Amino acid sequence: MNIAGVVVHARPEDAALIQAEISTMPGAEIHGVKENGRIVVTVEDEDYKKTSDAVLNLHQIKGVLSATLVYQHCEEDS
């Protein structure tokens, strides 16, 4: 399992639409939203490549200024 923590930066006026888009992404979960447009997200996946694709997909959401990987944990399932 792979878990990635990502901080998404957006304009405050775009944050609600971006949150709605993130909530449709498989494995993505929103953990917090700041008034300045920062959104804290985790992405869980079974495949490293899919996790990195999810982070890249966050960049493609209209209104996202940046998506920064701040944490990643990987462990094999037993």
Q: Is the pLDDT of residue 77 over 70?
A: no
- Domains in the chain: boundaries: 1-6+18-34+47-66
Please, are residues 76 and 31 in contact by the beta-carbon 8 Å criterion?
no
Say which amino acid occupies 1. M
Please, are residues 10 and 59 in contact by the beta-carbon 8 Å criterion?
no
pLDDT of res. 1: 80
Between 27 and 48, the more confident residue is 27
pLDDT of res. 15: 94
pLDDT of res. 57: 92
